[in-house]
Amino acid sequence: MSEKIDWFKGPVCGQENCKSKWYYEDAGKTICRWGHEQEGVQTQQDEDDFGTQGRKTRIRKETQEKVSRISRGHSAVELYLQAYQLISWKQCHALINIIGLPAELESVVKDLWALRLQLLKGKTNEDTVFSSQPQTETEIESNGEEVGREYKVEGKAMPTLIETLGLCYLGMVLLRTPISMGDLHRWAVREDIPFIRAVRFVPAVIKQKLPAEYLKALDTTSPLEPDRLRKAVHNLSLFYRHHFELVFPPLNTPLLLYKHIRDLAVPITLHPITLHLANLLAISFAFPSPGSRQRTSSLPELQLISLLIIATKLYHPFDGLPRHIPSLTDPAALSIDWPSWVQAQKAHNTLNSDENHLQRGSEINITEVDAMKMSDEQLDEYMDYYERTFIDSDRVEQKLPKDLLDMFPTGRLDGSEPASYSYQEQFAKEQEAVEETLGAVIGSMRLRNVISKESEEPVRRIGSFYRRYRRAEDLDGNAKVFHEKVAERMGVKLDTLVLAVGQMERLLIKWREANVKEGLEEEGEEDTGGGEDEGDGEENDNVEMMDESE
């Protein structure tokens, strides 16, 4: 007959996944119900242990050091740069495969990025600095005129998200592609290329390890404001020139100027006039050097569009006053009917938009008041945008149980699919609208009266009563609509555009004063009272074109 075993209850055995809590003692050892001997527990009763029955002895578990999932130091910086590089590659991929730019763009941007990385070796997140405008911001004096200052070197500042677009733009400049900053700004806003909430394109395995400040740097919680891309391009061009002596080529001026003229629906005769003004000021549309004074008009594309505006104001002023030409071969023989131009632009905006649908790229600007006025279809489109931009479907399915997801499903309740969007279709629609706008503007142009130069009758000539606008608040009527349209196409603020035009106008005034002074000195030296030749007459016409009416 076997001995009776005294069982007692204790903690879970745990050996070989044993779940037993019942033990017995045998020769001073504690053994579980399934024969697992418990190490480190002595149950042999000594003489000194008399009367200690019932005392529990627990095995103290080893304390395990908690390992943080968030990377720190150099590894965090390396992960951030990998995520940044992935976003830049996705932008290049979209520009090549969706927009249709040359395939060499990816290699050029890669080389620019490789140069940028050379200054970030050995960087840790303890000395991380995020700065979107560290170098070329300018100061404004009390009289409203801008004073440039030299470029300040900030080579080790961490790259920001807006600089990915700047790298793409400089890559297109190196390839001599006639793409403007406004085009790149528009593609980013409309999500033709990845930029809005770019952090959603980063793999989850990287996002889980990135510190909060790095995730924030890759995220966009507000619209892409005008001027941000301009500042980024200006800073990067100076950065590469200073650190690597990389000189970017001038803009592809003829093609880019033609594109601006066509998009703004102004006469093609302004093309040679704009280039002539550039020759007078010896402007090559090259990027500025770090040692020169940095102004708003230092960026070559702003120089080009400013000269186009000046040419428009000279040959097609907004005041509506009749002006006369010496012959029908004059470039200003036809004048723009500005009220018709404004109406054509309104019709252009109508063709590009649909009242029943949200305009692509406008979703991020929607407020609570706008949402209250939306139709059912517009609300569905806005929720589609929110789901596409802010919701990580894979993470939701992992974190939430299926029963809860079934109670609150994503997507449209009626089961319909969101309207498909194609860049090619949108581009074709925009080109059709541009063609119709051009036809309406050209059809409304009027022929000016011809009065020869020999006529003694006082008449207004082209360029007389030229008006300058020192501030955006001075714009009114047709002039305001025109400048707003140009600022929108360029992706800059209206104040920035007016300031750049004013700076170019001051250069032309200085050129005129220098030529007048030189002519007076030559006349004094020769001391002749003879008539003017044909070249002198042309110079006087240019002087008259810059006369100012205050």
Please write the tens of the pLDDT for every residue from 403-438.
665 666 666 666 666 677 788 888 888 888 889 999
Write down the pLDDT at residue 237: 92
212 near 69, Cβ under 8 Å? Answer: no
Using a pLDDT cut of 90, give the percent of the chain over it.
33
d(CA 175, CA 248): 10
pTM summary value: 0.77
Cα 379 to its chain centre, rounded Å, is 27
In sequence order, the 6+-apart residues with CB closer than 8 A to the CB of 8 are 22, 23, 24
Write down the pLDDT at residue 240: 93
Lowest-confidence pick of 124-128, 237-241, 265-269: 124-128
13 near 31, Cβ under 8 Å? Answer: no
State the chain's mean pLDDT as an integer: 79
Lowest-confidence pick of 22-31, 95-104, 111-120, 225-234: 22-31
- Name the phi and psi angles at 123, rounded to 5: -85, 140
The tally of CA atoms less than 13 A away on the side-chain side of residue 469 is 25
d(CA 23, CA 11): 9
d(CA 475, CA 473): 5
Asked if residue 369 has pLDDT above 70, the reply is: yes
Confidence of residue 94 (pLDDT cuts 50, 70, 90): very high
Write down the pLDDT at residue 346: 86
According to the per-residue pLDDT averaged within each range, which of 27-36, 357-366, 476-485, 538-547 is highest? Answer: 476-485
Angle at 395 between CA 394 and CA 396, to 5 degrees: 95
260 near 490, Cβ under 8 Å? Answer: no
d(CA 481, CA 472): 11
